[in-house]
Amino acid sequence: MKIGIDKIGFAFPEFVLDLADLAAARNVDPNKFKVGLLQSEMAIAPVTQDIVTLGAQAAASILTEEDKQAIDMVIVGTESSVDQSKAAAVVIHSLLGIQPFARSIEMKEACYGATAGLSLAKTHIAQNPDSKVLVIASDIAKYGIASGGEPTQGAGAVAMLVTADPSILVLNSDNVCQTRDIYDFWRPNDDKYPRVDGKYSTEQYTDCLTTTFDYYKKKTGKDLEDFAAMCLHIPFPKQGLKGLRAIAANEDTLTRLTDRFYEAIIYNQVIGNIYTGSIFLSFLSLLENSQALTAGDEILFYSYGSGAVCEIFSGSLVEGYQASLQEKRMADLNQRTKVSVEEYEKIFFEEIVLDEAGNSIDLNSDESPYALEKVVEFKRIYHS
Ligand code: CAA
């Protein structure tokens, strides 16, 4: 049975910060971000937008009423969860009006969580071919004002509908994983922002890739030459490019895959890191911006979650996949409201003020299709 991605949608918050402005405010050469990280803008979410609202919005952009009746599993991969116990998937299930007899869960392993979700979805469809699984990768990446990771922040969600006989990508069964117990990026329960050993994390990203790819080649007999493009986890685009260069032994292959790589980072460059969703945003960017792909092309994926777990897997493009995509995504991204560095510091780092009973005080109203309306007795109440 062919199983894979039938639909893919993306949601981003309304505000954007130009990294040239951030560079000026931090007294850094703007080329450090633009050339050194290959990053030009980052998406800024207000306090009323979180992984639930962005995830719901991404899913709503692709689902029909028929899909909502067929979905019997909702998986949210995230590392910026809003509750230590209740899964964001439960709230999203409700906001979207998905039929009640469904399993809704949240999966965590840093930026890798949603990739594990995709594998679980595939296994579920293999056993239940008529059902559909909604996999959402939703994150708000915040490192803090003037922190080392500040230019690599971002916010957004990617939603994927996994089905039998998909319209976009058939997932192959060649997955290879690696687990390493390391502290390159982590967030203790009481910390607002992640702790990160920046340089070490970049080394681990690449070392996990090269060693896992060696294992992948041995196990599958495939090599980079077999693929039309490669999508990697993109904490910032330069990291992905370094990863690609680290495993490409052949110059012609590297040149060809680098051309695809630049098409695959167009959205990431103006959104920033969205942790679990970054690899899938890169896939969407590739699909919507490359003229070089055709049905049957094989795409290679490298998912990396600090801590660390990584996975290499692949998929095959389906005939007519272009019909499931959007043409004006970049125009929509260009419509975002540009904020100054002062506004970014206020908007992105605003915190909800609660009274002693856990009720929010003076929370701004947000007219977005999905938004946090209030907190009542420590319960987050959303509108849709
Ligand atoms: N013009 C052009 N390039 C310049 C420049 C200039 N004026 N100034 C600096 N650069 C280049 C540097 O040479 C460097 O490029 P190379 O690595 O290719 O040499 C690049 O800009 C970055 O410079 P630095 O390494 O000096 O930057 P930094 O010390 O400020 O740290 C960082 C960079 C470690 C990535 C930091 O942004 C960080 O901690 N980010 C968060 C962690 C992260 O994203 N890690 C990635 C792997 S972990 C992961 O993937 C999981 C996840 O999502 C977090």
Distance 31 CA to ligand 1 centre (A): 12
The single-letter code of the amino acid at 294 is T
Residue type, 330: M
Task: Please indicate whether residue 327 is annotated as part of the active site.
Answer: no
What are the DSSP calls for 250-314, one per residue?
Answer: SHHHHHHHHHHHHHTTHHHHHHB--GGGHHHHHHHHHHHH-SS--TT-EEEEEEEETTTEEEEEE
Q: What is the mean pLDDT of residues 42-69?
A: 98
Distance (Å) from CA 199 to ligand 1 centroid: 8
Distance in Å, CA 374 to ligand 1 centroid: 38
Name residues contacting ligand 1 (CB within 6 A): 29, 31-32, 35-37, 111, 148-149, 152, 184-185, 196, 198-199, 201-202, 205, 233, 235-236, 238-239, 273, 275, 304, 306
pLDDT at res. 150: 98
Q: What is the mean pLDDT of residues 236-255?
A: 97
Query: Which among 41, 79, 150, 263 is annotated as catalytic?
Result: 79
Q: In this structure, are 140 and 10 located in the same domain?
A: yes
Strand partners, 264: none
pLDDT score for 64: 98
* Identity of the amino acid at 83: D
Position 166 scores a pLDDT of 98
pLDDT band at 327 (very low <50, low <70, confident <90, very high): confident
Find the 43 Cα to ligand 1 centroid distance in Å.
19
Closest C-alpha residue for ligand 1 atom 16: 36
Based on the fold, state whether residues 51 and 18 are members of the same structural domain: yes
- What's the pLDDT tens digit per position in 164-215? 999 999 999 999 999 999 999 999 999 999 999 999 999 999 999 999 999 9
pTM of the full predicted structure? 0.98
Asked whether residue 158 falls in the same domain as residue 37, the answer is yes
Residue whose CA lies nearest to ligand 1 atom number 40: 149
- Mean pLDDT value across the chain: 97
Same domain (yes/no): 268, 207: yes
Which residues sit in the known binding site?
29, 143, 148, 242, 273
Amino acid, res. 197 = D
Do 204 and 345 have their domain in common? no
Say yes or no: 334 and 297 in one domain. no
The first and second tokens of residue 197, run together, are: 């050993």
Q: Which of 284, 318, 352 is the last residue of a domain?
A: 318
Tens-digit pLDDT profile for residues 92-105: 999 999 999 999 99
Nearest Cα neighbor of 136 from 105, 157, 111, 154 is: 157
Number of compact structural domains in the chain = 2
**Mean pLDDT to the nearest integer, 104-125:** 98
Active-site position among 233, 263, 310, 311: 233
Q: Same structural domain for residues 248 and 313?
A: yes
User: Which single residue is written with the structure tokens 């991969």?
Assistant: 77
- Could you tell me which residues are annotated as the binding site for (3S)-3-hydroxy-3-methylglutaryl-CoA? 29, 143, 242, 273
pLDDT 10s digits, 339-367: 999 999 999 999 999 999 999 999 999 99
Q: Which pLDDT belongs to residue 318? A: 98
Q: pLDDT tier at 133 (50, 70, 90 boundaries)? A: very high
Task: Give distance in angstroms: CA of 226 to centre of ligand 1.
Answer: 30
**Is 203 noted as a catalytic residue in this protein?**
no
Q: Which of 41, 106, 109, 111 is catalytic?
A: 111
- 132 with 252, same domain? no
Question: What pLDDT does residue 310 have?
Answer: 98
Residue 38 pLDDT? 98
233 is catalytic: yes
Res. 384 pLDDT band, cuts 50 70 90: confident
Domain boundary among 291, 318, 345: 318
Together in a domain, 68 and 193: no
User: Which residue has its alpha carbon closest to ligand 1 atom 11?
Assistant: 36
Cα–Cα distance for residue pair 43/47, rounded to 1 Å: 13
Percentage above 90 pLDDT, the chain: 99
Based on the fold, state whether residues 30 and 149 are members of the same structural domain. yes
CB atoms within 10 A of CB 325: 14
CATH number of the domain within which 204 lies: 3.40.47.10
The answer to whether residues 222 and 116 belong to one domain is no
Q: Last residue of a domain, which of 283, 301, 318?
A: 318
Q: What residue numbers bound the domain in which 203 lies?
A: 171-318
Residues 299, 252 within the same domain: yes
